[in-house]
Amino acid sequence: MQAGDRAGGGQVFRAVAAEVAAAQGRSTGAAPAVLDVGGGSGAWAVPLARLGCAVTVVDHSPNALAALQRRAREAGVAELVTAVQGDVDALAEVVPSGGADLVLGHGLLEVVDDAVAAVRALAAASRPGGAVSVLVTGRLAAVLARTIAGRLAEARALLLDPEGRLGDRDGVRRRLDAGPLRTLLADAGLEVELLQGDGVLESWVPGSVRDDGPATAGLVTELEALGAGEPGLLAVAPRLHALARRPAG
């Protein structure tokens, strides 16, 4: 369940790393507890373990979890990464409720049957005062991309379907806009502190321009940082990232 994940850089990782740093500042020496639900082979878990987090990855795929453990060993952080086979719809059965400083649900809400129940499970797994980070596929970006590619029937279908799907054969169960994502989190009792786009400008840069050297790469990174929080660009972001907090009291 790692669609769209690019841990190790970018605005999303910086926001998550800042939350980890804040948790480290609040702790009495214990490693921040991170729960990565649907974390697959560790695209986020291993970089966070490198930051000093104790990361538990819950995923339904034994093959993905085996790859996670290999990846953690190769990175020298195996002692900080725990693999647990399970699903978000039975999360409380495999991990303690209210125990995580940070809960990740990246590339998760697009594929679960019940997004409302999934967000509530993520919220319940976080400790009071802890944070939940979700990364989801944006609906309007998918419409725009298909329009640019000349796939007009698909663009029309995405616009007309309430959940931004291409029908029953679509491997994605829903694509979200910023408003519905904010509502999902708020209805689970979470307070949204950050809502930003991921790939708002970077994803539209032609490959020929990307390969134009370090100076151009730096400019693309700067543009992405400037555009991530722009409301107009957020609406057409390929991915939407939210960081929300469980109230402390």
pLDDT over threshold 70, residue 181? yes
- Entry pTM: 0.91
pLDDT tens digits for range 3-33: 334 564 589 999 999 999 999 998 777 899 9
Distance CA 4, CA 194 (A): 18
Residue 119 burial by Cβ neighbours in a 10 Å radius (0-12, 13-18, 19+): buried
Q: Name the DSSP letter for residue 30.
A: P
pLDDT tens digits for range 80-115: 999 999 999 999 999 999 999 999 999 999 999 999
Average pLDDT of the chain is 92
- What confidence tier does 1 reach under pLDDT thresholds 50, 70, 90? very low
**Res 73: pLDDT:** 97
Domains, the chain, ordered by start: 10-137+176-199+238-244 (3.40.50.150)
